[in-house]
Chain A
Amino acid sequence: MTEDVYLILPDTVRNRLAKMSSSEIHRIEEIRLRIGLPVEVVIENRSFFLDEGQRFGKEEATILMNRLSMHSLYTLEEEIRRGYITIKGGHRVGIAGKVVLDRGNVKHIRDVASFNIRIARQILGAANGVLPLLVEKGQVKSTLIISPPQCGKTTLIRDIARQLSYGTKGFPGKKVSIVDERSEIAGCVNGIPQKDVGPRTDVMDGCPKAEGMMMMIRSMSPDVIITDEMGRPEDSYAIEEAIHAGIAVITTVHGKNLKDVMRRPVLSRLAQSGVFQRYLILGRQPRVGTITFMYDENLAECRFRVAK
């Protein structure tokens, strides 16, 4: 686990974590803290409680909140309203508690009682196998990545962004724009990406996808726009706009297979208009992030060989 997460944890929680072996600590995916309950740690989808007798207290929650905000909760108003805070290193802390409403909208989360610290790990080279499928004669193909949750799609598109931006032997670096609605792809803090997303990459952080894509098209003249989890009608409009401007779009969507996706009206319309030139389906077998199928723009299944 990285230094950045250690820095925000209260000392008492750190001591509890210190009892684990270092190889376990390195594989931690989530640390979940709830007031009045023991500390939960998730390693490779299995959960453990640390020191069941010792409960996470209210004072510890205050210390954690103070450290998260550097003693200045008012700087995190927007983040708290969204329900998560991105910290240095691109890790995300989800929060839950008593919500204060203002005319029916969430105004603030008072009394934060649950924290979910998701540890972000960047896997450099996660896109090595996919990249040759996406770039043809130096042209990036518009791609829809279809994947069930937790199959590594964010990790994958982050690395796609990085590699397209750096360029490889086969093609020069591209201008990449990331519209990062949930601060997951680039993990920005104060607008600066905490993950390596490449030297030719601009990030619009915390911006609604459709609006962000339009802004990027107008202002940053990208070659490629990368965004996460599209699905709303206005997203498809923005994607069409980008494609007409000659910009490749790489985006993801939740789903198990192409059929799943075709049932959704917004996506099936997009697919039928031939906007995407590649469809990649991710799976967990034999390991997270494996490409199980690929389709071309006519939705015909392609045979492919993933370079090792």
Chain B
Amino acid sequence: MIKLIGAIFIILSSSLIGMKVASYYVLRSTQLRQLQVALQWLETQIVYGSTPLHVALNHIAVRMNGDVRYLFAAAADALTHLKEASTRECWESAIEKEWHKTALRKPEKEVLLQLGQVLGQSNREDQQKHIRLALMNLKSEEDVARAQQQKYEKMCRSLGLLGGLLVVILLY
């Protein structure tokens, strides 16, 4: 009887681990999608609204769903409160601080950091070009992430379950 309960526990926990790993793949592509929506919104606010950067970022932080918004909230906060820092430093500090809350990876971090170097530093036309470029890069990252998701999501789930089963069989 006890053996049976133990076996169920092992299978349960290993399949949970599998699901967790799988959900990470899903989360990354979702957040990449959200990041693109956020940047598109930023573009609109800059190009058509001529909204100051900290106000625009705040709008995004308030109205967006998902963990991506923490990045924008932190950046808006840094721009208003770090008096002596340049725009780039504010942006970088926000990304470093809040990155761990997202499921995003290094390539998209690079894209954002690169955008931070020019954000707010030129006229609208130029800002638009840079944001478009970042969007394009994020889109290609998203495509890669989706492909990975398709490949590994199911596999991780079944691997969790099967791994649990294997342990149980070995121990039984």
Name A residues whose Cβ lies closer than 8 Å to a Cβ of B: 10-11, 62-63, 66-67, 69-75, 77, 107-108
Q: How far is the CB of A132 from chain B (nearest CB, A)?
A: 45
Q: Mark B120-149, 1 if CB is under 8 A from A, else 0.
A: 111110010000000000000000000000
A213–B68 Cα distance when bound, in Å, is 49
Q: Mark B81-104, 1 if CB is under 8 A from A, else 0.
A: 001101100100000000000000
Chain B residues whose C-beta falls within 8 Å of the C-beta of A108 in the assembled complex: 123
Q: Decide: B123 and A71 in contact? CB cutoff 8 A.
A: no
**B86: which of A63, A70, A72, A107 is its contact (CB, 8 Å)?**
A63
A62–B88 Cα distance when bound, in Å, is 11
| Residue contacts A-B, CB under 8 angstroms, 10 given | A66-B86, A66-B120, A70-B79, A71-B79, A72-B46, A72-B53, A73-B121, A75-B52, A77-B50, A77-B123
Chain B residue nearest to A78 (CB atoms) is: B50
Interface residues of B, CB < 8 Å — how many?
Answer: 19
Q: Decide: B87 and A71 in contact? CB cutoff 8 A.
A: yes
Q: Decide: B86 and A73 in contact? CB cutoff 8 A.
A: no
Q: Mark B54-91, 1 if CB is under 8 A from A, else 0.
A: 10100000000000000000000001000110110010
A77–B51 Cα distance when bound, in Å, is 12
Q: How far is the CB of A9 from chain B (nearest CB, A)?
A: 11
Known contacts A62-B86, A66-B86, A66-B87, A71 near B53 by CB under 8 Å: yes
Chain A residue nearest to B119 (CB atoms) is: A71
Q: How far is the CB of A188 from chain B (nearest CB, A)?
A: 16
Q: Decide: B53 and A70 in contact? CB cutoff 8 A.
A: yes
Q: Decide: A71 and B54 in contact? CB cutoff 8 A.
A: yes
Q: Decide: B52 and A70 in contact? CB cutoff 8 A.
A: yes
Chain B residues whose C-beta falls within 8 Å of the C-beta of A74 in the assembled complex: 46, 50, 120, 122-124, 127
A297–B82 Cα distance when bound, in Å, is 59
Q: How far is the CB of A271 from chain B (nearest CB, A)?
A: 43
A70–B79 Cα distance when bound, in Å, is 8
Q: Decide: A70 and B124 in contact? CB cutoff 8 A.
A: no
**A70: which of B54, B121, B123 is its contact (CB, 8 Å)?**
B54
A147–B108 Cα distance when bound, in Å, is 61
Q: Decide: B120 and A72 in contact? CB cutoff 8 A.
A: yes
Q: How far is the CB of B47 from chain A (nearest CB, A)?
A: 8
Q: Decide: B90 and A71 in contact? CB cutoff 8 A.
A: yes
Chain B residue nearest to A74 (CB atoms) is: B124
Pick the most buried of A11, A71, A108: most chain B CB atoms within 10 A of its CB. A71
Top 3 nearest A-B pairs (CB, nearest first) are: A72-B53, A72-B52, A71-B87
Q: How far is the CB of B14 from chain A (nearest CB, A)?
A: 49
Q: How far is the CB of A54 from chain B (nearest CB, A)?
A: 17
A75–B53 Cα distance when bound, in Å, is 9
A69–B127 Cα distance when bound, in Å, is 15
Pick the most buried of B52, B79, B90: most chain A CB atoms within 10 A of its CB. B52
Q: How far is the CB of B131 from chain A (nearest CB, A)?
A: 11
Chain B residues whose C-beta falls within 8 Å of the C-beta of A67 in the assembled complex: 83
Q: Decide: B79 and A11 in contact? CB cutoff 8 A.
A: no
A33–B127 Cα distance when bound, in Å, is 27
A245–B105 Cα distance when bound, in Å, is 68
Known contacts A62-B86, A66-B87, A71 near B124 by CB under 8 Å: no
Chain B residues whose C-beta falls within 8 Å of the C-beta of A71 in the assembled complex: 52-54, 79, 87, 90, 120
A11–B83 Cα distance when bound, in Å, is 9
**A63: which of B52, B84, B120 is its contact (CB, 8 Å)?**
B84
Q: How far is the CB of A171 from chain B (nearest CB, A)?
A: 41
Chain A residue nearest to B79 (CB atoms) is: A71
- A73-B121, A77-B50, A77-B124 provided; 15 other pairs, C-beta below 8 A? A10-B84, A70-B53, A70-B54, A70-B79, A71-B54, A71-B87, A71-B90, A72-B51, A74-B50, A74-B120, A74-B123, A75-B50, A75-B51, A75-B52, A108-B123
Chain B residue nearest to A70 (CB atoms) is: B52
Q: How far is the CB of A256 from chain B (nearest CB, A)?
A: 41
